[in-house]
């Protein structure tokens, strides 16, 4: 998630709380959805593969082939996506 997206979610949560506080005349109220958004933002971003991990994937492929085939790059990409998501 980009910093811009994170900032947008944070600002929206703040606005949601602000309007709830105005409606309730209570400056300590927080909206459950705003709390959920902040909890989501507090989670660590998933890390992608490191170069060493990708190198091991490539070496594993070579263990089954005499050399790269036309499908090797696609196979590495599928394996990386299966393990690390997007």
Mean pLDDT of the chain: 82
Which among 58, 16, 51, 19 has a CA at the least distance from the CA of 37? 16
Taking the C-alpha atoms of residue 35 and residue 11, their distance in angstroms, rounded to an integer, is: 12
Pick 73 or 25 by higher pLDDT. 25
Pick 69 or 31 by higher pLDDT. 31
The pLDDT of residue 68 is 61
In terms of residues, how long is the chain?
86
Domain ranges of the chain: 3-42, 51-84
pLDDT class of 80 with cuts at 50, 70, 90: confident
The pLDDT of residue 70 is 63
Q: Angle formed by the axes of helices 72-84 and 51-62, to 10°?
A: 130
The pLDDT of residue 48 is 73
Q: pLDDT, tens digit, for every residue of 17-59?
A: 999 999 999 989 999 999 999 999 998 877 777 788 777 877 7
């Amino acid at each position: 998630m980009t910093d811009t997206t994170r900032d947008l979610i944070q600002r929206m949560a703040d606005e949601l709380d602000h309007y709830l506080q105005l409606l309730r005349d209570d400056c300590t109220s927080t909206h459950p959805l705003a709390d959920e958004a902040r909890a989501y933002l507090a989670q660590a971003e998933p890390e992608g593969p490191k170069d060493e991990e990708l190198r091991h994937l490539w070496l594993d492929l070579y263990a089954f082939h005499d050399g790269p085939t036309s499908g090797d790059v696609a196979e590495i990409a599928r394996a990386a996506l299966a393990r690390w998501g997007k």
